[in-house]
Amino acid sequence: MTTTEHKSLRGRPKTIRAEKVLEVAIEAYWQNDLADVSVNSICRAAQASKPSVYREFGNEDGLTRAALESYAEQLLSDVSKILQSGQGMNETLDALIDFIITDARLEIGCLFHKMRAGKNRLGPKTRELVEELNRAAQGNYQTFFQDRRSTGDWYGTVSTDVAAKYLGEQIALALAQRASGENATTIREILSLALSVFR
């Protein structure tokens, strides 16, 4: 684990473990309403001073963006791997459904989708990243449908753009249902029904 050293205003060395701060921030933003999470509470939980956190991340917006960026690297990349696995339409959709329903990390929903839904309350840097991640996700979905169409595995008449948006919204709905505590079997049945249009 990398340790970043800073000097306090009094000249004494001050140490902050940036990874620990990010872990705490991700958990806090993920589990609570974004408006209820303060930098002070994150600092207390991470045992880091507020000035040192601001020196590391710039401001609250910088910390929120860094937390989302770290989260995306850890979890959203798994969705990309499923889409890029080269499997057929049915196998890929089944893998996506299994991931969304069974991955323990998604028991409280998805931080990215949570921030996307409440992006108007985010700072400009974090909003910018939310938009970047959303475009990347849509691009991955579109590429997936283009590939399935080119191999003759999907004969849908809608555009890949519409298909991508539909898939993204169905995934977001399923994740919101998980976060609300809906029964996993029910979520699976609803999501399977929603995605059956692609089979």
* pLDDT value of residue 18: 87
Instruction: Tell me what the mean pLDDT of segment 94-102 comes to.
Output: 96
Question: Does pTM surpass 0.85?
Answer: no
- Domains of the chain plus CATH, in order, are 1-58 (no CATH), 72-198 (1.10.357)
Burial class (CB in 10 A: 0-12, 13-18, 19+), 170: buried
7-57: pLDDT as tens digits: 333 443 345 688 899 999 999 999 888 888 999 999 999 999 999 999 999
- Return d(Cα 122, Cα 137) in angstroms, integer: 20
20-33: pLDDT as tens digits: 999 999 999 998 88
78-89: pLDDT as tens digits: 999 999 998 999
- Return d(Cα 170, Cα 155) in angstroms, integer: 20
Q: What is the DSSP letter of 47?
A: T
Please name the residue ranges forming H helices in 72-159: 77-83, 89-102, 111-117, 124-150
Diameter of the chain by CA atoms?
68
